[in-house]
Amino acid sequence: MKIALIALSAALVVGAGAVSISAVSTAQQVSKAAPAVVDAYVEATFKGASDTWKGRIKQDETQRACSENKNELSTAEFQKVLAREKASVVFPADGKVIGNWKEGAKIAQNGRGGQFSDPPDTVGGGNCYACHQLSKAELSFGTMGPSLNEYGKIRRFREDEAKAAYAKIYNAQSVMPCSNMPRFGLTKALSEQQIKDVVSYLFDPESPVNK
Amino acid sequence: MLGALQVKLVGIGLACLLALAVSTGKGAAQATDSEKEIERYREMISDPMSNPGFLNVDRGEALWKLARGTKNVSLEQCDLGEGAGKLDGAYAKLPRYFKDADKVMDVEQRLAWCMQNLQGLDTKDVFARRFGAPGRTSDMEDLVAFIANKSSGMKLATPVQHAKEQEMYAVGKAMFFRRGGTWDFACSTCHSEDGKRIRLQGLPNLSKPDKQVQETMGSWPTYRVSQSQVRTMQHRLWDCYRQMRWPSPDYLSDGLTALTVYLNKNAEGAQIQVPSIKR
């Protein structure tokens, strides 16, 4: 039933044609809001939140640069962000980036954690499937990011590639400034162990990602 | 207020909706079939017997006419922008600048203002019930359904003229692209590219004026089947901020109105048909 309803709403999006497009006065010039004005609005919008929550939406320099440039940085700014984010990546002390792919599979599926509706002790996931295809068997995947199917296999299960994937997941912007992918390690959305498990999900030959 | 007959009719309507959903699922392979279903669905949206959102419209009308507050008057003299008590087309031009409050207000901010200033109503309870739940109706959702329905068939024309409206638009745009929180999300993360989806859920691109944003903004408030409630834009934005891992935004805060101004401006000229029905 639920699937049928989703199909219905999807069909609607495609089919609804009762809308007229008017390109009229949208080109009207409205000047850009001063950053201080925007900050004041944002602050007022979340006035009721706790200090912990408020702290989470204080922008860092990278978020600020990406927001103000709609994710398209000048070359100089791009290099600056890249260097800063690269420097933030912390690899496991023993240099080993491989964990347990079965745990990684759960983390890739799990979209819980970090929302104001979640109980504070919720163990959060990476919600990789929200944006990526991974295992062929999972049909419910998003398309905001590229398919990661056979990710390790394509890379011949190489250790340096697994390390690069660890860095990518730890901080996506250490590879690609202003990426839409969350910086899971930097913001502690995922723990070191969780990132290792997810890397294994991508790189273990037994993982369904590589089947 | 709610006749037993009406409730029964809505019950039948819901059954139809579910039956329709099932048959659409089966016929999805055949384009002509699903086109017919979409046509039927469109008719159903505006049919008070099939769309449970019309229960809210009826309740909203009763609330509009109900005398309450310290002044014991109804909302019938509330000015939603087109003059005191004028409802036709008012929602199509909201949010907008109101001189008496010296502020740009969306429909819910304005309703709250009228409750407080016109009726002398203590809005604490109204705000506590801002989002309805099974067994708990929301005056705001009911009133918005009623008021918005009076603009059905009209075109969305949120003004961006007054200096404060222009400020709202500019701030709304900046907030739309503002990244933050532990997942670095902005509205634009999910709503600024065509044809993307999160899991299986299609994401409308709301960042530029075109059909997608028109279809979106012209169809709120909506009866959400998954929640069995009529929802307003205040609720939708609250829910998106939840998904963004941002804190819960304050109800009726100006930032939400700014976002609505930005989105409505992108959706200018949209055909309003509300309350609609959505997933």
Residue A200 confidence (pLDDT): 98
| CB-based contact B183:A182 (threshold 8 Å) | yes
Model pLDDT for residues B267-279, shown as the tens digit of each residue: 999 999 999 999 8
CA distances from B263 to B174, B213, B223, B253 (A): 12, 7, 20, 16
Q: What is the pLDDT of residue B38?
A: 63
Amino acid at B23: S
Residues of B with Cβ-Cβ distance to A26 under 8 angstroms: 209, 265-266, 268
- Residue located via tokens 């609607």: A12
Tell me whether residue B190 is one of the annotated catalytic residues. no
A67 touches chain B (CB under 8 A): yes
Share of chain B above pLDDT 90, in %: 82
**Which chain A residues contact residue B162 at CB under 8 A?**
none
Residue A140 has what DSSP assignment? -
Angstroms from A175 CA to nearest CA on chain B = 15
Q: What is the pLDDT of residue B41?
A: 67
pLDDT classification of B7: cutoffs 50, 70, 90: very low
Judge whether A174 and A167 are in contact, CB under 8 Å. yes
Interface pTM, i.e. ipTM: 0.90
User: What are B75-120's pLDDT values in tens digits?
Assistant: 999 999 999 999 999 999 999 999 999 999 999 999 999 999 999 9
β-pairing, B222-224 vs B276-278, is parallel
Q: What is the pLDDT of residue A31?
A: 81
Return d(Cα A207, Cα B9) in angstroms, integer: 52
- Report pLDDT digits (tens) over B129-186: 999 999 999 999 999 999 999 999 999 999 999 999 999 999 999 999 999 999 999 9
Instruction: Tell me the count of A-B CB pairs closer than 8 A.
Output: 206
pLDDT tens-digit series, residues B215-251: 999 999 999 999 999 999 999 999 999 999 999 999 9
User: For residue A25, what is the nearest residue in chain B, using CA coordinates?
Assistant: B268
CATH number of A101-210: 1.10.760.10
- Of all helices (H) and strands (E), which one includes residue A85? helix A75-88
Interface of A with B in 105-144 (CB under 8 A): 114-117, 129-131, 139-144
**Chain A residues inside the 8 Å CB shell of B254:** 41, 44-45
Contact partners, residue A38, CB within 8 Å, separation at least 6: B171, B174, B175, B178
Map tokens 């011949």 to a residue: A156
Higher pLDDT, A130 or B9: A130
Task: Report how far apart, in Å, the C-alpha atoms of B187 and of each of B142, B178, B184, B210, B235 are.
Answer: 27, 7, 10, 17, 15
* 8 Å CB contact of B268 and A26: yes
A114 with B183: Cβ contact below 8 A = yes
- Identify the pLDDT of residue B49: 76
CA quadruple B193, B199, B200, B201: dihedral, nearest 10: -50
Average of pLDDT values for B17-36? 45
| Closest among A178, A166, A171, A180 to A81, alpha carbons compared | A178
End-to-end Cα spacing for chain B = 28
Check pLDDT > 60 for residue B20.
Answer: no
pLDDT tens for chain A, 211 residues: list them.
333 333 334 333 333 333 333 333 444 567 899 999 999 999 999 999 999 999 999 999 999 999 999 999 999 999 999 999 999 999 999 999 999 999 999 999 999 999 999 998 999 999 999 999 999 999 999 999 999 999 999 999 999 999 999 999 999 999 999 999 999 999 999 999 999 999 999 999 999 999 9
Q: In terms of pLDDT, which residue wins out, B34 or B198?
A: B198
Q: Residue B242: its chain A contacts at CB < 8 A?
A: 115-117
Residue B37, pLDDT > 60, answer yes
Contacts of B219 (CB under 8 A, 6+ apart): B273, B274, B276, B278
Contact A131 B198 (CB under 8 A): yes
Q: Is the dihedral of CA B28, B32, B38, B41 positive or negative?
A: negative
- Displacement of CA B76 from its chain's centroid (Å): 21
What tens digit of pLDDT does each residue of B115-132 get?
999 999 999 999 999 999
Contact A189 B182 (CB under 8 A): yes
Least confident of A25-39, B5-19, B35-49, B184-198: B5-19
Task: Give residue A20's pLDDT.
Answer: 34
Tell me the shortest Cα–Cα distance from A148 to chain B, in angstroms. Answer: 14
Contact with chain B for residue A147, Cβ under 8 A: no
Position A189: which residue type? Answer: A
pLDDT at B13: 40
Provide the CB-side half-sphere exposure for B211 (13 A, CA): 10
Catalytic residue among B78, B114, B187, B240: B240
Tell me the angle at which helices B53-65 and B139-149 cross, rounded to the nearest 10 degrees: 100
Which residues pair with residue B84 across a beta bridge? B79
Per domain, the residue ranges of chain A are 3-88, 101-210
Q: Assess A180–B contact: CB distance below 8 Å, yes or no.
A: yes
Start-end of H helices in chain B? 4-27, 31-45, 53-65, 107-114, 124-128, 139-149, 163-176, 187-191, 211-217, 233-243, 254-266
Distances (CA, A) of B45 to A195, B6, B272: 46, 16, 12
Token pair for A142: 């998003």
